[in-house]
Structures are given as C-alpha cells and as structure tokens.
Amino acid sequence: GDFVEAMYLMLQQDKPDDFVIATGENHTVEEFVELSFKYAGLTDYKKYINDFDKARIIVIGDLMLDYYMYGNVKRISPEAPVPVVNVTSESINLGGAANVMNNIVSLEGNVQICGVVGDDRSGERLFAEIKTRGVDPGGAIIEKGRPTTEKTRIIAHSQQVVRFDRE
C-alpha cells in the first residue's frame, strides 16, 4: 500500500539520486529501508522487519527456470558472423515468480507459490527445487501440452551474447 507507493514515487523522481544527495552520503541497505519507511510515513519500520517471518505471502506469476552458460570466445563461426562460445560452466536457477519465492524463503518468510508449469522434465525440476526450499508447490498447476518456461543466457567474457526462450 503506502510503502510501495512511496517507493514508487521516490524512484520516479526526476533525479532518483536526490535521496542520496540530500543526505550527503551513501547508505547501507538497512539505512535505505529505514529512510524509505520514513518517506512513506511508517516510522515503526523495525516492527515490519522483525515480524517478517510472521507474514503470510502469496506469489502469483510465471514459474520458470533460468539457465546460464558461461564461456570464452576465441573465434568467429565460419558458418555465420557470430561468436563461437566455448562453454566452461553452467548453472540453473529459479526464475520469474519462483525466484521471488526463493528470495522470500531466504529472508525466512512464509510463502505460498501459484503459477503454471508444463508437464515436462523442467516442470518436474521446478517442483523439486520449490520443495527443497520447504515450500508446498500445491498452488502451481501442471498444464499438459505446455512447456515450462525456460530462459537461457549465453555469457562470454562477462557479456551476455544471446538469450533464447522456450515458452
């Protein structure tokens, strides 16, 4: 409500850095949160933070997996003018609403997840990852004939080369 609106208004200022400039210094995350709550007129911000684990939060949205492939480029393909990435490592993370759920879990929040996944291996993996974080995936629907959304990013030399999606 008021807090989200105040944060939105603060970020929509002509100069978003005014908040830092007005105080004359950079702030830690905790200080930024305190100032944000004060900006919203909520002076008892520590109560909200201390009671976060008592809040019941529902996350509704796109459940997906984010794939990352990291590597190096040493040549251009002879087939087309594109870099050839020699993959050196890979990772898979929860994406979309599942990432939001994961962030809430990491803050020891009580979260429920709702969304749609496909009836495929990626959907099974997503459910398993949700369960390993202690969240019941009962609010997620498995839809036959639909692929689970996957976003794959190819990164070489700290630069994203391409992203491809399966939806």
Distance CA 164, CA 53 (A): 37
> What's the alpha-carbon Rg for the chain, to the nearest Å?
21
pLDDT of residue 20 exceeding 50: no
- 89-133 pLDDT, tens digit per residue, is 999 999 999 999 998 898 888 899 999 999 999 999 999 999 999
pLDDT of residue 3 exceeding 50: no
pTM value? 0.70
Distance CA 123, CA 147 (A): 8
Give mean pLDDT, residues 49-58.
82
pLDDT of residue 138 exceeding 70: yes
Q: Please report which confidence band the pLDDT of residue 26 belongs to, taking 50, 70 and 90 as the band edges.
A: low
Distance CA 139, CA 165 (A): 24
- 59-98 pLDDT, tens digit per residue, is 999 999 999 999 999 999 999 999 999 999 999 999 999 9
